[in-house]
Amino acid sequence: MVIPVQILILGAGGHGRAVCEAARDSGFAPRGFLDARAPLPPMLGLPVLGDEAAHDGGPLLIALGQNRLRLEAAARLGCALPVLLHPSAVRARSAELAEGAVVMPRVVLGALARIGRLALVNTGAIIEHDVVLEEGAHVAPGAVLCGGVRVGARAMVGAGAVVAPNLVIGADAVVGAGAAVLADVPPGAMVAGVPARSQGN
């Protein structure tokens, strides 16, 4: 008999609710939420126990949608960061997930894909063979990263975007929803459209 892992969730917003449901599906037993906006009413039948000061040192799922905030919270709290891999995800045996990575329902992780620490792969995204997501990156729902793509630390690939093979999305870059990325994206840049072009930042 497998005993569910007791866990707290940092963040009681929309992403926190999604993480809570995914955690329940994945063998975790969430005990409650932590949120800087506490006190808050119960969420999904669980109490909001307080802000980070209420953390008891146990394992934590960090459910903050902003990439930088996830990493900063992990640095402050210094606790165990389990991997959350939803059971509906399709994971190649050679795909690797670092601590704190979150892989939501119906994701596909191809051969030798590497999902970095506290990276987030959202619902229905496709991460093809040899793709690398660096620390704190986020691939939004329905995005497709073709083989060999590298996404830099804290970068964001928007919902429904497609990134052509072997390209690099630089650290802190943002790819807009529905974009078709056909060239490398420099660090910190924002691109959108079909084909994706700089948005002048």
Whether residues 71 and 108 fall in one domain: no
Among 56, 77, 98, the domain boundary falls at 77
Could you identify the residue written with the tokens 């800087």?
36
CB 191 within 8 A of CB 175: yes
Whether residues 90 and 166 fall in one domain: yes
Residue 201 lies in a domain: no
Say what the pLDDT of residue 201 is.
54
Distance of CA 59 to the CA centre of its chain: 17
SS3 content of the chain, % helix, strand, coil (to 5): 15, 30, 55
Residue 196 lies in a domain: no
Whether residues 32 and 62 fall in one domain: yes
**Token pair for 61:** 């799922």
CATH of the domain at 90: 2.160.10.10
Residue 195 lies in a domain: no
Whether residues 152 and 100 fall in one domain: yes
Note down pLDDT in tens along the chain; length 201 residues.
566 789 999 999 999 999 999 999 999 999 999 999 999 999 999 999 999 999 999 999 999 999 999 999 999 998 999 999 999 999 999 999 999 999 999 999 999 999 999 999 999 999 999 999 999 999 999 999 999 999 999 999 999 999 999 999 999 999 999 999 999 999 999 999 999 999 865
Whether residues 90 and 182 fall in one domain: yes
Number of domains in the chain: 2
Say what the pLDDT of residue 63 is.
97
Let me know if 129 is a catalytic residue: yes
Whether residues 70 and 129 fall in one domain: no
Among 77, 105, 137, the domain boundary falls at 77
Residue 193 lies in a domain: no
**Token pair for 11:** 């963040």
Q: Which of 55, 86, 129, 138 is catalytic?
A: 129
pTM for the whole thing?
0.95
Whether residues 32 and 52 fall in one domain: yes
Please give the residue range of the domain that contains residue 36. Answer: 5-77
Say what the pLDDT of residue 2 is.
62
Whether residues 108 and 126 fall in one domain: yes
Whether residues 112 and 135 fall in one domain: yes
CATH of the domain at 59: 3.40.50.20
Q: Which residues pair with 121 in a beta bridge?
A: 103, 139
Whether residues 15 and 100 fall in one domain: no
How far is Cα 173 from Cα 152, in angstroms, rounded to an integer?
Answer: 8
Residue 127 lies in a domain: yes
Say what the pLDDT of residue 4 is.
75
How far is Cα 72 from Cα 92, in angstroms, rounded to an integer?
Answer: 30
Whether residues 47 and 68 fall in one domain: yes
Whether residues 138 and 103 fall in one domain: yes
Residue 112 lies in a domain: yes
